Structure 1
Amino acid sequence: MSAHKHDHPHYHEPAQPAMPRTGMVLDLSRAALVVIDPQIDFLTPQGVAWPLVGECVTENGVVGKLELLFKAAKDAGIVVAISPHYYYPCDHEWEFGGGLEKLMHQIGMFDRASPLSLEDFEHSGADFLPQYKPYILDGKTIIASPHKVYGPETNDLALQLRKRGVSQVILAGMAANLCVESHLRELVEQGFEVAVVRDATAAPRAPEGDGYLAALINFRFIAGGVWTASEVIGMLKK
């Protein structure tokens, strides 16, 4: 059996955690579901990142769980926001970047023809999964401006949430050790109370390491809650 399967002890909550319970309780009057990068390049076998993330996405059932979270959030009437990742032609002129930045540019991940045009956008790797579009394109969901590396420092997500009276955030989406963790860190620094949906995210597995395990370790130290999708859906139905 693969050491990466969910029966691996490192993927389970520790039997004797050192961190105290935070006591975070979801308050629907001030909560938002924030889904990061629910895009084809991350979440389908046709996506350019699938060779890196596909095993973990499949094991966690991320695609289906995100759809259930969208539906539950809409039924509960809470704010829903998307923090997408797009690269325009000008972004490919950057003169330096980390390893994954270099890879994303090389494989054309999240590429769009222009910031002012949707030419060739539909069904491209940058597009949203079709099953999510009824929730995302309903005219109510916040679609933030794109983040450019990993965190929301370069987009308007925090502004949009504050303008809607949001102070609690439920984070889900891709990828766990990159954009999700970076959003977690920045939103916490911005004064939001943040929980991560641990099984509605996934991460690359590469010779450099298991990104999902790395993310879980840091979620446990940083987040106000590390919840499962079923737990969150139950909270949203109350």
Structure 2
Amino acid sequence: MEINLDHTALVITDPQNDFLSHDGVAWDLVKESVKANHTIENMEKLLKSAKQNNIQTFISPHYYFPYDQNWIFEGPVEKLMHDTKMYLRKGPLSMEGFIGSGADFLDQFKPYINNEKSIIVSPHKIYGPESNDLVLQLRKHGISKVILAGMSANLCVESHLRELIENGFEVAVVYDATAGATIDGMDGYQSALVNYKMIANDVWSTDETLEKIKKIK
């Protein structure tokens, strides 16, 4: 995949405390993978490079509101997220209690996210962007190529990859700027790597991605 300034964007999924903070409700499930990949450091490098090189950044967050807790059926990870109040906010029109909560962005990412140039799309509700406006926003900003990273590897990142590919985007996944949960002997990160290699247009390390971004200046 060849990237260019006019039509390439960085898309980050779920750069939020509940996954990436030591106090997050999912930290114990992902911490080994996060540490092994240097996921937080690599996500910050991507965000910083995108800002420095005028690459448009899109954030696809995961939020739940009180009415989402009343779903009458759910998959196992959905149930886990609801039971632990993961990403829970007071409501779509309220910022009460948001700052520093599990739904908030990791503090070190905020300078790259909380600015007028980053686009924070509406929340996805399960894993993929089918229920939010990411694809619309990418199209409306003339984006056809996506550099994809974030949390978590085999759930939201892979689901975003699949949907973006189906919608005609070229997608490169940054494999060490993500991480996955290990549950009952199942390694979400390793399972995702197989599918990245089969589905994505390219799979890059963070260092490779930074070099490619520098060359398009």
TM-score, scaled relative to structure 2: 0.98
**In structure 2, the residue corresponding to 1:126 is in which secondary structure?**
coil
Residues of 1 paired with 2:28 and 2:44: CA distance?
22
Q: For residues 70-109 of structure 1, what are the structure 2 equivalents within 5 Å?
A: 70-109=47-86
The residue aligned with 2:131 is: 154
d(CA) in 1 for partners of 2:130 and 2:169? Answer: 14
Give the partner amino acid of 2:184: P
Q: Distance in 2 between matches of 1:208 and 1:123?
A: 32
1:232 maps to which residue?
209
CA-to-aligned-CA distance 1:151-196 (integer Å, 9 cap, x gap): 0000000111111100000000000000000000000000000010
* Aligned-residue offset at 1:208: 5.0
Q: Secondary structure at the match of 2:88?
A: coil
**C-alpha RMSD over aligned residues:** 0.7
Q: Report the secondary structure of 2:124's partner residue.
A: coil
Residues 171-182 of structure 1 correspond to what in structure 2 (within 5 A)?
A: 171-182=148-159
Aligned-partner Cα distance in 2 for 1:29–1:228? 22
1:203 aligned partner = 180
1:21-170 alignment runs, 5 A limit: 24-170=1-147
- Name the % identity: 58
The number of aligned residues is 215
Highest Rg: 1 or 2? Answer: 1
- The answer for unaligned runs of 5 or more in structure 1 is 1-23
Q: What is the CA distance between 1:229 and its match in structure 2?
A: 0.4
The one of 154, 167, 170 equivalent to 1:190 is 167
- Per-residue CA deviation, residues 208-234 of structure 1 (Å, 9 max, x unaligned), is 511001100000000001100000011
- The aligned counterpart of 1:212 is 189
Structure 2 gaps of 5+ residues are none
Alpha-carbon distance in structure 1 between the residues aligned to 2:5 and 2:23? 36
- What per-residue deviation string (whole Å, max 9, x for no partner) do you get for residues 90-144 of structure 1? 0001000110000000001000011100000000000001111111111110100
Deviation of residue 25 (structure 1)? 1.4
Residue deviations 1:40-61 (CA, integer Å, cap 9, x gap): 0000110000111111011111
Question: Structure 1: which amino acid aligns with 2:113?
Answer: I
| Structure 1 SS opposite 2:172 | strand
4+ residue runs over 6 A deviation: none
